[in-house]
Amino acid sequence: MNQQPRGARVSVIVTLSLLSYLAGCTFVRLDTGRQLVSEDDPIFDTRFREVDPADLDLSDFWIDAEPPPSDEAIPINHRTYAKIVTSVSDGIVNLYTTVLEEREARLGIVPGDLLPFRIPILSPVLDFIPFHLPLRYKAEGFSLGSGFLINEGGFILTNAHVIRNATDIRVVRSKNREEFPARIIGVDPATDSALIRIEPQPDMRVLPLGSSEALEVGEIVMAVGNPLGLNHTVSSGLISAKQRLVPEAEASLLDYLQTDTAINPGSSGGPLLNLHGQVVGINTAIATRAQNIGFAIPIDTIKRVIPILISGNPERGWFGAAARPTSPGEAARLGHSNPSAVIVDEVLDPSPASKAGVRADDLILRVGGQEIPDFIAFRHQLISLRPGNTLELTILRDGEQIEISSTLVAPPND
């Protein structure tokens, strides 16, 4: 009988020991929200980084479709939806993205197993004290999403979370299933929006951008996207609600269009369309504990931040005041009957707000000379303001209207 070499026996023992040690190993994907890919990476197109958004002329950058008359009847038959899909399908793209992910390997053992023999009192106690050694590392993952062309230069709108930490983006058009590499122009986490670009092609189909403000609750809409990798899937439903706040969503500061149109993983970034083939929203999220509750970012919000996306700098201006909707009782107490007024809750010092003389309990009536119809509209008016922009407010204090003008600054680190 051949005797196994001593070195081989040691190798076998070490291998068995490692296997028993790794038996408790688990791998977890961490969603820390950290930026793992540098903006100097080749995936980013930095050609517009030095451009001030205020200097951009975007009058022809996208097709701004006129809102259809509210009383215009659209004949519905068995081919109505099919005609709309045919007219827009080549402007809707599927995204296949390689992303850098942060993961954690948790190596676990039971301390009692390290003892050479069982000790009656100590071993049962150690069995209930597992030891885990977390090891973080980076690895490549895969993401699905959707997008749509808004400019013949190859510019595509999608969601920020679809291309977050991307190292490679592949755009697939419906026509001939053509595939193109894409680069990131800009990302705005605050609105969960992103602008990417492929090299222009001679037959680009650009989708017109409609008006989400003109939508009515109960209006018919359609979604086209890449759910679960099922490319160019079409679904339809209704606008269930507008100005819906969703704290669990990726960008919790946004208000959303709520729809019962089917939206699934992979649909994110695709267009929500009205029956005129106009984009009225970007499909973004679903309520995971419900059925047929989906959310889309209003396209009017996206129009306001496209200059920020082009510049590639999502930093917002900081004013240093917190505001909230006012109640009718508060408005009456402060000498104003308009329930849509916004009340200043807190003013930080030092800040542009404190330097401009804003105080707690001031009522904000107008922004930039425009009346505030409600609190969400107030946030819309501020969403695209950047450091260096001027904020003009009309406030009511002690029955007197006061005009406030202040220059916004970069937000402090703390």
Structural contact between residues 279 and 271, judged by C-beta atoms closer than 8 angstroms: yes
Angle between helical axes of 375-382 and 299-311 (0-180°, round to 10): 20
- Specify if 395 maps to a domain: yes
For residue 217, being part of any structural domain is answered with no
336 CB-side CA count, 13 A:
23
> Which run of H or E residues covers position 14?
helix 6-22
In sequence order, the 6+-apart residues with CB closer than 8 A to the CB of 350 are 320
250 touches 269 (CB < 8 A):
no
d(CA 110, CA 123): 10
The residue type of 396 is: L
The C-alpha atoms of residue 210 and residue 214 are separated, in whole angstroms, by: 9
78 belongs to the catalytic site: no
Give the whole-angstrom CA distance, residue 226 versus residue 233: 6
Distance of CA 172 to the CA centre of its chain: 21
- Distance from chain centroid for Cα 371: 28
DSSP collapsed to 3 states, 208-219? CECCCCCCCCCC
C-beta of residue 295 within 8 angstroms of C-beta of residue 259:
yes
Q: How far apart are CA 148 and CA 195, in angstroms?
A: 10
Per-residue pLDDT of the chain (414 residues; tens, 9 = 90+): 455 554 444 444 344 344 344 445 555 666 666 788 888 889 999 888 888 887 888 889 999 988 777 667 788 888 999 999 999 999 999 999 999 888 877 665 555 555 565 656 655 655 555 556 677 777 888 889 999 999 999 999 999 999 999 999 999 988 778 899 999 999 999 899 999 999 998 888 999 999 999 999 999 999 998 888 788 889 999 999 998 887 655 555 688 999 999 888 888 999 999 999 999 999 998 877 777 788 999 999 999 999 999 988 888 899 999 998 887 777 777 777 666 778 898 999 899 999 999 999 888 988 988 888 888 888 888 888 889 999 999 998 888 899 999 999 998 886
Cα–Cα distances (Å) from 372 to 215, 321, 363, 375, 376, in that order, read: 19, 17, 11, 7, 9
Is 74 a member of any domain? no
Residue 204 forms part of a structural domain: no
Q: What is the dihedral of CA 69, 63, 58, 257, to 10 degrees?
A: 60
Residue 275 lies inside a defined structural domain of this protein: no
Q: Which of 91, 121, 139 is the last residue of a domain?
A: 139
Check: CB of residue 289 under 8 Å from CB of residue 248. no
Which residue stretches of 154-240 are H helix? Answer: 160-163
In a domain, 123, yes or no: yes
**For residue 118, what are the domain limits?**
6-33+101-139
Q: Report which residue type is found at 367.
A: V
| CA 13 from centroid of its chain's CA atoms | 51
Q: Tell me the C-alpha distance between 185 and 191, whole Å.
A: 15
- Number of domains the chain is built from: 2
Per-residue confidence (pLDDT) for residue 247, from 0 to 100: 60
Q: Give the C-alpha separation, 242 to 244, whole Å.
A: 5
Given 115, 139, 163, the domain boundary residue is 139
183: tokens are 């680069």
Which one-letter amino acid corresponds to residue 412? P
Whether 316 is covered by a domain: the verdict is no
For residue 279, the model assigns a pLDDT of 97
Contacts 24+ apart (CB under 8 A), 66-73: 67/210, 67/211, 67/214, 68/214, 68/274, 68/276, 68/278, 70/214, 70/216
> In this structure, what DSSP letter does residue 64 have?
B
Q: Is 42 helix (H, G, I), strand (E, B) or coil?
A: coil
In terms of C-beta distances under 8 Å and separation of at least 24 residues, what long-range contacts does 48-51 make, across chains too?
48/185, 48/186, 48/310, 48/311, 48/312, 49/311, 49/312, 49/313, 51/310, 51/311
What pLDDT was estimated at residue 127? 58
Residue 229 lies in a domain: no
- In CATH, what number is assigned to the domain containing residue 377? 2.30.42.10
What pLDDT was estimated at residue 403? 94
Name every residue whose Cβ is closer than 8 Å to that of residue 299 and which is 6 or more positions away in sequence.
209, 210, 211, 212, 279, 280, 281, 282
pLDDT reported for residue 10: 43
What tokens appear for 280 in the block?
């009225």
Is 132 marked active-site?
no
**What is the rounded CA–CA span in Å between residue 259 and residue 297?**
11
Distance CA 200, CA 302 (A): 22
Rounded CA-CA distance 256/249 in Å is 10
Catalytic residue among 146, 268, 384, 406: 268
Say whether 232 is catalytic. Answer: no
Options 90, 143, 161, 362, the catalytic residue: 161
For position 107, what pLDDT does the model report?
Answer: 62
- At 185, is the secondary structure helix, strand, or coil? strand
Backbone angles phi, psi at 307, to 5 degrees: -60, -35
Domain boundary (139, 169, 196) is at: 139
Contacts of 289 (CB under 8 A, 6+ apart): none
Catalytic residue among 192, 235, 336, 384: 192
